[in-house]
Structure 1
């Protein structure tokens, strides 16, 4: 073939940008017009609302699950501490009798007390404090007036955080006369 023969052949040029624009125009023409799209809009709105409700329900479920997990941990701590209270009572009696002045038992009692204090366990009820029937269980009432205070403490009361887990067992008496 010669160069002259190639010049007589037709040349075809293909523009890809024009072809893509033409395809997009054909797709747009195939789409329903505004009147034809109207029936789909309520369905889209309904599905969107349903999705939003499901998302809100899931967020609430996640929040409740986290709260329940925390409550479960707190309940587990309370159950364990309640089982340890008789041991604390024994340590209190040993301390009153001077058996915890020194030695390994004192170290153990101090460590256990420190651990429970770090978990927000707090004892309450001491002689001379005001008597509160919400916190104290009176086993004997020797008071004669309206003002009542704790006389003797037979069993210490405990709070775990803000919750009373055991009421104190006390005697009630009149406050000491002030001078």
Structure 2
């Protein structure tokens, strides 16, 4: 220590110490375990303290508030589900039915040009030209079988009641004791594929004779 230091008067001490500035990084009091003491007033709720009322209060607007309300709405939802299911089933049926009709129409358009060939075979058979065992008869049998496998159905038979829905009368023949118009002769058979009619049967019709 120098002589100058020994002779210097001590700095005054006013007994007051300024508190540390806020945010200066001073540590908060800790507990005996070394963990920071909880802060806040303790009035808030943590997740473990949530009640059913708190959860229901936070539910979206319009959501069922009770199981009773949900049970009350269940029949309505079930009825809507049944209605939608029925509508879809009907839609599928209509779609499948329409597709089948269109398929038959396309098939009918392809088969129609061959009907004249079948007419020639029918005429040949009436005249006795289709002798069993001949090449001509074999070809006729194969062609008719192929048309049947495609769904082609012939109609128009002698003796059946005349029906203007399926028969085309190209001649009327008065026949004694006739009380009902019937098919007297089939000129050309009618054909259909399913519900699609390719043509009516051309027939001669027996009608009642005058007097």
Shorter-chain TM-score range: 0.5 to 0.7
Give the corresponding residue for 1:153.
186
Q: CA deviation at 1:28?
A: 9.2
* TM-score, with structure 1 as normaliser: 0.60
Q: Relative to structure 1, is the Cα distance of residues 127 and 65 closer, same or farther in structure 2, using a 3 angstrom cutoff?
A: closer
* TM-score, with structure 2 as normaliser: 0.53
Give the corresponding residue for 2:169.
138
Q: Which runs of 5 or more residues in structure 1 are unaligned?
A: 1-9, 11-24
Alpha-carbon displacement from aligned partner over 1:133-164 (angstroms, at most 9, x marks no partner): 22211111122653222222221112333554
Using the alignment, how far apart are the partners of 1:114 and 1:27 within structure 2?
82
Q: Which has the larger radius of gyration?
A: 2
Q: Relative to structure 1, is the Cα distance of residues 160 and 58 closer, same or farther in structure 2, using a 3 angstrom cutoff?
A: closer
Q: Which runs of 5 or more residues in structure 2 are unaligned?
A: 1-32, 34-45, 65-72
**CA RMSD after TM alignment:** 3.7
2:156 to 114, 125, 129: 125
1:90 aligns with 2:120: yes
Give the corresponding residue for 1:67.
97
* Alignment length (residue pairs): 147
Q: Relative to structure 1, is the Cα distance of residues 28 and 92 closer, same or farther in structure 2, using a 3 angstrom cutoff?
A: farther
- Greater helix fraction, Structure 1 or Structure 2: 1
1:105 to 127, 130, 136: 136
